[in-house]
Structure 1
Amino acid sequence: MTDPGRGDFPASLLLVGAGRMGAALLKGWLNLGLDPARVYVLDPAPAPDVAAFCAARGITIGAPGGAPDVLVLAIKPQTLASAAPGLAPLAGPRTLVISILAGKTLKTIADLLPGAGGIIRTMPNLPAAIGAGITGAVAHAVTPAQRRTAEALLAAGGRVEWLDEESLIDAVTAVSGSGPAYVFYLAECLAEAGVAQGLPPAVAARLARATIEGAGALLAALPEVPAAKLRADVTSPGGTTEAALAELKSGGALAELIGRAVAAARRRAQQLSD
């Protein structure tokens, strides 16, 4: 497989599943320089906007005539077993399989697609749609060139964290894969709390959203500064923030709740492997 470079990505790619995450990654890959004429999307019922996007960009909706260089699994994890017989002929000895399926192990994928030339199991997150995501990845029987190809594809959506142990992928799923939903829920709760204190709903929603956007931007702008230090910088002794944090920390309430949420997400990811 030829090593990719931005603006010159010669590999052929089959995307299996064009839901929200698959479609987001596809847009990032095209920005990377992936030739639309060498991209195939296999989805029994693509959303109208996805179908329109593919038509506009010259992307084929359907399987390629032979095994592609890269086969990306982006379907629902529960449907992998039923889809595998149709996919197995498309996973040839030169095909790199990249999976974003929660809970599906390297062994499971290898057993279902035995002809694949290498497998990388990943867990991206939704901000990949705007190039601001982060993906955890672990490789199995891949060549250095395949790993570089995967790195380039995954980096189109943001940062990549390579893991030495596959067992850590479920924890990645629970922290960063599902994590954006936790942040969005925080925005909901913060806005609702503002309404309870008398703010008009639209104003409360804008304040909550902008606050989270700004805090995230500050984290991104100061990667060397721990989140705990940034929190301390906002917290004046005896001030309003300290009073609020005292409630959030009371009895370890927020930390315990987040810990339970992440543990529940990891358990569910493990159950999906059954």
Structure 2
Amino acid sequence: VAAALANEGLTTFAPSYATFAPSYATFITGRVYDQVRVNLGMMRSPVALVGVSAGCESGMLGASHMALEDISLMRGVPNVEVFCPADNAELASVLRLLAAAPRPAYVRTNTLDGVNLHPDGTTAVSGRAQLIFSPGGAPEVSLVATGTICSRAVEAARLLAADGVAAEVLEMLCVKPLDVAAVDALAAGGRRLVATVEEHSVVGGLGAAVAERLTEHGGAPALLRLGMPDAYQNADSQAALLERAGLSAAGIAARVRERLSRG
């Protein structure tokens, strides 16, 4: 239905939500994957899919309702752009971008917890990353994060700074198209470690996209991919699931320290 409306010239957003009951990002991506491939991928119908309750947000309902494979699925469809806003300001900017220039896209959202990483506002640009935390000098570690977990990456960078580890945070709003220039700069920047951070499976998401690009460079820094395990998770709260996966701010910082200690 969304594709038909878009093909008739209407600006079309298809959120995984209904007024009578919540739905989930996993259903608007995995359950209808063939329709996405055909209508958005092959036919290029300019529909913006909006997945709510992504990642572990629906964790209390069990593995069937968690969206931990959605980035991987959507970045695998040609012609579909994948946006993962970090806060409400960025979500609003992405929606304005897609309203002004409709194209096949997937926008991934989950609980924002009142975090505002863009207090002065922001202008979303497809395929462009932005530095959202700097240690003030030359970084030895780059945390590359996407989505609302960016706030935890920023806090982890502050914890690392307290230990004398200079870490920056690069927000990757778009997982597809990836900001390849930004990744290339990481490869050439003399960093000891690049760590990707995502509330998504370690398979097929941001970490995979960055790894694919880094492998094209000889002498690229070590890569640490932080995300949810490649396994179905037991029902639990979002906070507990992230904690168990080492995706709290303290957990991210600890994993980075451990990787640096191995040289």
TM-score (ref. length: structure 1): 0.27
Q: Comparing both chains, which one has the higher relative contact order based on Cα–Cα distances under 8 Å and sequence gaps of 6 or more?
A: 2
TM-score of the aligned structures, taking structure 2 as reference length: 0.28
Higher strand share: 2
Bigger Rg, which one: 1
Determine which structure has the larger helix proportion and give its number: 1
